[in-house]
Structure 1
């Protein structure tokens, strides 16, 4: 017997109710995923505004932090076109505009839904420190221009500021120890563990305007002004760190040349650190633009200076030594140079930035002995300019300076920081470790993540989601059951 029209209408209503219930369940579950299971990765952007160039780094880390600190990895490295922002003193607007290209790359990488929650920071180092000393209003104009551009982006811009030299060294120390797995690492048993004490390494950084050293000494740090403390992954660290302004690569070269000018009226300089046969002419005024050059400027700065290379490494080392002041600091004990306290060197060290770039060019990044490094640099310095040019085509921009830089690094590390023939093998010259650039930016981001509020742990989110979803399923099934029972009663009424 066929169904009556009432029964057909009821079945249609029942089918519609079930379909609507299932559709609602699917839509609600999708919404639950969006609300209760947010993206499990956070991002952060750091601009490293150095003296010679600016770089942008994007870092990412899981929402669930380990002992209060994010486990961070590098997602993008972008070098900004043009010089460092301190070079835009006469055109500060361009300092901000120069950052747009790399900023757009970063925004394209980070999911749009996470832009507002992504912190961004710009740290300016020694180049802007020098400009601030020379002309504070120009430095302020550059920071204002940079802030206008970055604050207009959709991310959480947290400011552009001058990074203290001590912070630059300390954050570099955090970076290298993190990427080497010496602060925390993932074990084969599936747990995060802290490596044994005594395995931490020191950091040696050589920028364009400053150089930094940072390490955990074997004894107490007697001068607290050189001490930085951190709390990372549930542990406390006390690090010796110091930054030497005016001892970076570019400023060293300027100071070196200025020191070779015999008199204010000199128009010719014979440079022992340049290869024999090299000759160039430059405006005399350019030598005295930096606050790092303490020599008295001649009255007539409009004249040009001719520089001729002599290729004499012995005389070059003597000129470089004049840049250092190694008078002892008896009141606090040990001294490195420039009357600065330094405890005895301890452990392994990683040397990066211009330490690495110079020694990589000289093929000295394979743990060669100090004697081999000395002999290699000296032999290179003695080569005539024509032979050097022919041997390294396409590298003319920096070629003339590798002799001076190589000898400067040897002098800085041995006579400045105190490395010896015995401790020299403890230095590794590296640009990266574990696919991550070594510098202060990652260390800064690691420290910053300790200040970002933790999200709910994944386990809690999963449990909450399961309970919530189970409740929704229960309600929908109850609705279907009630409608089904009504259908049975309707079709097969009991006597």
Structure 2
């Protein structure tokens, strides 16, 4: 019988023949060893598959100069500033009331041009985010623009102290001004920005160019906020088999091609004190009723590519974003009170009444809790109010403040709103949407209209003395104060009207979540800003890997581009071992059948039979 060996798979010491007289070890022993090798190969293969399929969660390893770092950053751990492969970025949000600095960090890009950078907030030794805020707003320097760089010096020094000095020159710095600077005359805006562009490079080594300091529009801010929340939620990752929350998208610029299927992104609703904002992806190509409507829509739709390669359309998005000034909770209340003053003044003059002129003859306000007393001071006159606490009546009297028209495809103030597939959508509501549902009503999170309206009605219809007593007993959120209690009824009705009659959300809509934090983190628009503005940086890592030729990183080679090839190799090796084991088993059984009982016993028990010499 011939010899069989698998010299390509095992060391020479493992070679054996199937001849009993020449076999260096018992067949059962060899069989058991091969079986162990097969099981070990299976185990390695399974671990490899799990690592590849779950690389977005656990991250990939990179290798350079003998060092390895787990490139997926842990959200809540202190940043390892000794990691030489960690990159940093700085964004300063120059708002109306103050300026806040955020430091972000990310590992080397994983080498796949379809993936985004893994950007996280940098965390100090105490594991808290590296954030600093100063007051007042930079717009207060409109008359003294030469002080702008000195004004930001504390923030820049703070960032310089936390980021390793060896990384300063490659750390991009962005100074982005918002609402407060938008109302400053353009010549004063330019003077402030020019001071920053001139002085900062003289004192700091950060990567800072003229385009890194600017006043961004409300549309840009809304897009950045939309990017930030969807990035944190993982909506920009590739879909996997069996993914439920998906949507068909006509990628901008490729409308003639078939729609692509990718993860459904989430929309954003944000109501502050002064303005309300909405942003959501428009997956389908939009048709317009008129050229005028099309022109308006172009100013409201933002089309952009988050990917590092302009030729790849994986991360091309079309987003509708609009900011409605004067439609925030406090601004709406102010307009409502102006309406009350106008009505009472006109009615009293025409009919000779004295409604609201004293506490004894108050104006009955359905948007205030029952029996509460309040006053409106405007243009030298005072209107006295007493709460009536009627939620439904309040909704009706504030509805005209939406300036809603009867035209189709419009929202607040007749502004164009593209079609929204409410059945296959999801929204997060921030700021007043959360405060209004949580601080007093204690039902933040999943929004259910029936539950919300019942709680709002009950609250409005409760006497002020009872509400005050509950407040004194600490039954409401620690964030609730007397101002919140007084205007909770109005803001509940206003939120309802904006959501359901302004933005036309169905009353049975169940995919709205009101939140303050996402995954226990405050999500700022600055995260979306740095993600968008650094989108081309992965090309640097990819090109470096390409130029290195034979020195290409093990990370990029094995896991990103060729892990399927390695997986096939594993399967080939495993299949070869299994086929050989089956063949060996058949030969083993044949030999047991054809040999003498003594030889069979030797082969079965793995021992050497005692054969006496015959003379």
Give the TM interval when normalised to the shorter protein: 0.5 to 0.7
- Hey, what's the Cα distance between the residues in 1 that align with 2:198 and 2:471? 42
Q: 1:401 to 1:94 in 2, by over 3 A?
A: farther
Query: Where does residue 316 of structure 1 map in the other structure?
Result: 394
Q: Are 1:337 and 2:412 counterparts?
A: yes
- Hey, what's the Cα distance between the residues in 1 that align with 2:486 and 2:194? 37
- Hey, what's the Cα distance between the residues in 1 that align with 2:377 and 2:273? 21
Structure 1: gaps of 5 or more residues: 1-28, 31-36, 189-193, 285-300, 467-495
Structure-1-length-normalised TM-score = 0.67
Q: 1:172 to 1:260 in 2, by over 3 A?
A: same
Give a deviation string over 1:132-185, Cα, whole Å, max 9, x none. 4xx667766776788799776553455443322222222222122211111126
Equivalent residue in structure 2 for 1:109, among 162, 165, 172? 162
Equivalent residue in structure 2 for 1:448, among 511, 533, 558? 533
Q: Is the 8 A contact 1:82 1:98 kept in 2?
A: no
Alignment of 1:275-286 (within 5 A): 275-279=369-373, 284=378
Give a deviation string over 1:455-487, Cα, whole Å, max 9, x none. 445857797699xxxxxxxxxxxxxxxxxxxxx
- Hey, what's the Cα distance between the residues in 1 that align with 2:377 and 2:200? 36
- Hey, what's the Cα distance between the residues in 2 that align with 1:251 and 1:125? 19
Any idea what SS the aligned residue of 1:322 has? helix
Q: Is the 8 A contact 2:337 2:376 kept in 1?
A: no
Any idea what SS the aligned residue of 2:93 has? strand
Query: Where does residue 26 of structure 1 map in the other structure?
Result: none
Equivalent residue in structure 1 for 2:442, among 356, 359, 363? 363
Query: Where does residue 507 of structure 2 map in the other structure?
Result: 421
Equivalent residue in structure 1 for 2:299, among 211, 218, 225? 225
- Hey, what's the Cα distance between the residues in 2 that align with 1:381 and 1:97? 50
Q: Is the 8 A contact 2:237 2:263 kept in 1?
A: no
Q: 1:385 to 1:216 in 2, by over 3 A?
A: same
Q: Is the 8 A contact 2:283 2:318 kept in 1?
A: no
Any idea what SS the aligned residue of 2:330 has? helix
Q: 1:57 to 1:308 in 2, by over 3 A?
A: farther
- Hey, what's the Cα distance between the residues in 1 that align with 2:458 and 2:305? 47
Any idea what SS the aligned residue of 1:425 has? coil
Any idea what SS the aligned residue of 2:222 has? helix
User: 1:228: how far off?
Assistant: 1.2
User: 1:411: how far off?
Assistant: 0.9
**Aligned Cα root-mean-square deviation (Å):** 4.2
Equivalent residue in structure 2 for 1:166, among 205, 215, 219? 219
Any idea what SS the aligned residue of 1:392 has? helix
Equivalent residue in structure 2 for 1:250, among 330, 350, 359? 330
Any idea what SS the aligned residue of 2:413 has? coil
Query: Where does residue 85 of structure 2 map in the other structure?
Result: 40
Equivalent residue in structure 2 for 1:327, among 405, 414, 417? 405
Q: Are 1:70 and 2:117 counterparts?
A: yes
Any idea what SS the aligned residue of 1:115 has? helix
Q: Is the 8 A contact 2:447 2:512 kept in 1?
A: no
- Hey, what's the Cα distance between the residues in 1 that align with 2:100 and 2:117? 22
- Hey, what's the Cα distance between the residues in 2 that align with 1:215 and 1:453? 26
- Hey, what's the Cα distance between the residues in 1 that align with 2:337 and 2:143? 25
Q: Are 1:375 and 2:454 counterparts?
A: yes
Between 359-368 and 268-277, the greater mean CA deviation after superposition: 268-277
Q: Is the 8 A contact 1:179 1:436 kept in 2?
A: no
Q: Is the 8 A contact 2:445 2:515 kept in 1?
A: no
Between 259-268 and 112-121, the greater mean CA deviation after superposition: 259-268
Equivalent residue in structure 2 for 1:125, among 173, 178, 187? 178
Q: 1:453 to 1:358 in 2, by over 3 A?
A: same
Q: Is the 8 A contact 1:80 1:99 kept in 2?
A: no
Q: Is the 8 A contact 2:226 2:528 kept in 1?
A: yes
- Hey, what's the Cα distance between the residues in 1 that align with 2:514 and 2:138? 27
Query: Where does residue 206 of structure 2 map in the other structure?
Result: 155
Give a deviation string over 1:379-419, Cα, whole Å, max 9, x none. 22333334334433572354433332222111111001111
Query: Where does residue 471 of structure 2 map in the other structure?
Result: 392
User: 1:326: how far off?
Assistant: 1.6
Q: Are 1:408 and 2:494 counterparts?
A: yes
Q: Are 1:213 and 2:278 counterparts?
A: yes
Q: 1:245 to 1:317 in 2, by over 3 A?
A: same
- Hey, what's the Cα distance between the residues in 1 that align with 2:141 and 2:488? 27
Q: Is the 8 A contact 1:230 1:238 kept in 2?
A: yes
Any idea what SS the aligned residue of 1:247 has? coil
Any idea what SS the aligned residue of 2:319 has? strand
Structure 2: gaps of 5 or more residues: 1-64, 67-81, 123-128, 242-246, 248-259, 288-296, 350-355, 473-477, 554-615
Structure with larger Rg: 2
- Hey, what's the Cα distance between the residues in 2 that align with 1:374 and 1:252? 20
